[in-house]
Amino acid sequence: MRLDHAALRALLPHRYPMLLLDRVEDVEPGESLTGVKAVSGCEPCYRGIAEDQPADRYAYPASLLIESFGQGAAVLWLLSRRSGTAGLPMFTAARDVVLLHPVHPGDVVHHRVRLDQVVDGAAFASGSSWVGERRVAEFDSMMAVVRPVDAVAEPRD
């Protein structure tokens, strides 16, 4: 199963600039997902960098890489839930995250996510992120809990 950006917008509550997953190339509900994030030099995280800065200043922020992987995990969990279960996954913790190589504008990141366990409204996922044949990050454990939709604050104007 493949999901385009419109399908991701229908599943996730995130919007610009925090929707950090562009598409899903493959998903096996209850098992695994491969999500794609294309890093662009036009993203808001780069707006304050002066013109004369070296390339290493353009390393994609670790927090955004972790969030992008987490959105892949959320999509996997949402597609894996039994019908009739409601609520939004909310990221709660990440353990043993190892950032191996920086990611830069022009890189296309492939998140390989595994759904390890779902217990009493909590999900645990793990996996890795790749740029081409290079593993750039490892995620030993990420946890999310489900919150009722009405318990999540509505965005303010």
Query: The domain spanning residue 26 has which CATH number?
Result: 3.10.129.10
Domains contained in the chain, number: 1
Q: Is residue 146 part of a domain?
A: yes
pLDDT digits (tens, 9 = 90+) for 94-117: 999 999 999 999 999 999 999 999
Q: Is residue 156 part of a domain?
A: no
Q: What is the pLDDT of residue 30?
A: 94
Side chain identity, residue 145 = V
Q: Is residue 41 part of a domain?
A: yes
pLDDT digits (tens, 9 = 90+) for 50-98: 989 998 999 999 999 999 999 999 999 999 986 556 778 889 999 999 9
pLDDT beyond 90 at 149: no
Range of the domain at 129: 5-151
Q: Is residue 100 part of a domain?
A: yes
CB 36 within 8 A of CB 20: no
Question: pTM of the prediction?
Answer: 0.91
Q: Is residue 42 part of a domain?
A: yes
Q: Which residues of 27-51 are buried (b: 16+ CB within 10 A; e: fewer)?
A: beeeeebbbbbebeeeeeebeeeee
